[in-house]
Structure 1
Amino acid sequence: MNAWVLRAVGLGALTVGLRALLGVAMVQWPTNGSWMRPLGLLVLIAAVLAWGVLDGRADADGQRDLTMRWLKAGLAGGIGAGAVAWILDYLPGFDLGDNGLLFEITSGASFIILVIFIPGVLGVALGRYLVRRRDNSDTASDLPNSTKESATV
């Protein structure tokens, strides 16, 4: 399976799961939506960011084009999550906003695409930075004392 397909399916499923959980919670506790919506968004962003950091750490030398991987994952995950949410909205017990298919695969999907793509790429950059910083500090500690003092100045 392609790496971007795995990310698209996993993050799209997380998006739909969070929307379904939010829909059930909003039916049970309608006055608590002001903190439940941002919490769901924060969980999704944290998952994408963590996966991006793992990608960046695995590819610290920058040999692969992870930007396109995350763009494809965002596109497929956003459009797929919108289509699945539209289908689930017709099942009894699911309240996902009663949005039409056109909205779900265009406007709704564009937001999810950005929520997957931007934190994913930021996570890749952070992961690469952390590995390079660790490697540079290991290299600096291997230098002799006289070189180490001049390298820190």
Structure 2
Amino acid sequence: MIDMNAWVLRAMGLGALTVGLEILLGFGMRYWPTSGAWMRILSLIVLVAAVIAWGWLDGRSDRRANPDPEHGADLTMRWLKAALAGGIGAGLVAWILDFIPGFDLGDQGLVFNITSGAAFIVLLIFIPGMLGVALGRWLAGRDGKKNAPATTAPDPEPANA
């Protein structure tokens, strides 16, 4: 149950961020059409940075809870489920919001939004998420090794007096 809550929370949060960025981009493109290139890049950077940060937090907390790399949580499936649900959900919500007057989200059809558009969002969530997990685990493992008490080698055999 805890793992389900974890991927659902990530899917809803990152899907909502995706839709929010699409809405802002739509309004920006409407009022500043010549600035579309940098607005798209900025939206992409914000989404990828948020995903990497969340993945980093996951990886760091997992490594601290499980110092042995062989016994960590299965964060790959958590992030894959979150990416699939977030991408498809964001595509569906964006398609619905596109019917509201004043929202200009690209006038894409439902099939495009839940297939091709969603596939792009799935990749934008899953790949940076896994990079963040790997980075978080690596940094937490490195910090754990630095802070671990130094083990002393056993004394050589004592000399007989």
Q: TM-score, normalised by structure 2?
A: 0.86
Pick the aligned partner of 2:25 from 22, 26, 29: 22
Once the 2 structures are TM-superposed, how far is the Cα of residue 139 of structure 1 from its aligned partner? 2.6
Distance apart, 1:138 and its partner CA: 1.7
- 1:64-87 deviation line (CA, Å, top 9, x unaligned): 100000000000000000000000
Counterpart of 2:83, as a letter, is G
From 110, 113, 119, give the equivalent of 1:110. 119
Q: Structure 1: which 5+ residue stretches go unaligned?
A: 145-153
1:11 partnered with 2:20: no
Q: Does 2:128 correspond to 1:135?
A: no
Q: What does 1:3-152 correspond to in 2, within 5 Å?
A: 3-60=6-63, 61=66, 62=69, 63-139=72-148, 142=150
Secondary structure at the aligned position of 2:148 is classed as helix
Shift of 1:34: 1.1
Amino acid at match of 2:45: L
For 1:151, the equivalent position in structure 2 comes to none
Q: Distance in 1 between matches of 2:91 and 2:13?
A: 14
Residue 2 of structure 1 and its aligned partner are, at CA, apart by: 1.2
Q: Which consecutive segments of 4 or more residues in structure 1 shift more than 2 A?
A: none
What's the CA shift string for 1:78-117, capped at 9, x where partnerless?
A: 0000000000000011000000000000000000000000
Partners of 1:64 and 1:138 lie apart in 2 by 22
Identical-residue share of aligned pairs (%): 69
How far, CA to CA, are the matches of 2:96 and 2:82 in structure 1?
Answer: 21
Backbone CA RMSD of aligned residues: 1.2
Query: Which structure has the bigger radius of gyration?
Result: 2
Displacement, 1:143? 5.2
The separation in 2 between residues aligned to 1:126 and 1:64, in whole angstroms, is: 15
Greater helix percent: which structure?
Answer: 1
How many Å separate the matches in 1 of 2:110 and 2:79?
A: 24
Aligned length: 143
